[in-house]
Amino acid sequence: MDLSNYSFLITGGAGFIGSNLVEYLLNNNAKLVRVLDNFATGKRENIAPFLQNERFQLIEGDIRDYNTCKDAVAAIDFVSHQAALGSVPRSINDPITTNEVNIAGFLNVLNAVRECGVKKMVYAASSSTYGDSKILPKVENVIGNPLSPYAVTKYVNELYAQVFADLYSLNSVGLRYFNVFGPKQDPNGAYAAVIPLFMKSALAKESPYINGDGEQTRDFTYVENAVQANVKALLSETNGHEVMNIAFGERTSLNQLWNYITDLADVSLKPIYRENRAGDVRDSLANISKATNTIGYEPKFSVVEGLEITYNWYKGHE
């Protein structure tokens, strides 16, 4: 589909998923790609390659400020809302800020979208919404009780989006991401995700820490699959509000994951096991048939393929 007639706003566009999405849109001739980011967790280096592109705009600002959101949304066709404070442990340590960004900030963007007549908003929902439900694979209409403040915020986003669809006919799609990984994901800091941490350990030839016994499973999703889902959801014919799982559809244990990465790095290191982490689910696996049937989502990259690309990226950015 020709993107040259459309303008896009990516909130959190200097972040991991957001910057990969910006790159895709610019490479595919979008008329305008505007980023709103406060660089609390986003990185300037993630968007540095785009700054000289005449079809790229940066607004440095915070989604907690409503006027900033209105300015960012002005004259935009489609909004991909990626801005959030991620991490379950972060939300447990600081629930107030997580709530301010992920709920109040989300509502600001949603209302700005409504006021400015944007065609559609796609937003980053989360597999954490499934909470304590033990049912596998995860299906969109069966959720459990949330296990963290972060999970609460992501579920509230879905509730708000549905209300805005019902009251104001606002079109939106929530993408419940399952453990997205890939290039540009930060391996540093207290809330780094497991794959960048494992990559960092393998490259440093150091044993990683694993919380629990390592047999817990996740549906790891390479970032290009998430980018595809965003673009297809934005341009799809859906009306009202829809929520759908975005994943690869395969379970991988943390022990398997470490074995894959040690094979790539050609190292032999045993993990160091420690206590389980509060707020974590034991197992996760997505049913992705709704996304396939609704927006034509077809994940192109397996976990192993994504890990190889990601490892080579980290190796080149040591």
Q: Show which residues are catalytic.
A: 150
Other beta carbons within 10 Å of 45: 11
* CA-based nearest residue to 87, from 158, 160, 186: 186
Helix axes 254-265, 303-316, angle to 10 degrees: 50
Residue 270 to residue 272: CA distance in whole angstroms? 7
Residue 35 to residue 18: CA distance in whole angstroms? 9
Single-letter code of the amino acid located at 218: R
| Contact in structure between 262 and 201 (CB atoms under 8 Å) | no
CA distances from 230 to 20, 75, 89, 144, 154 (A): 11, 20, 26, 25, 17
Q: Residues near 75 by Cβ (< 8 Å), separated by ≥ 6?
A: 7
Q: How many helices (H) and strands (E) does the chain have?
A: 12, 13
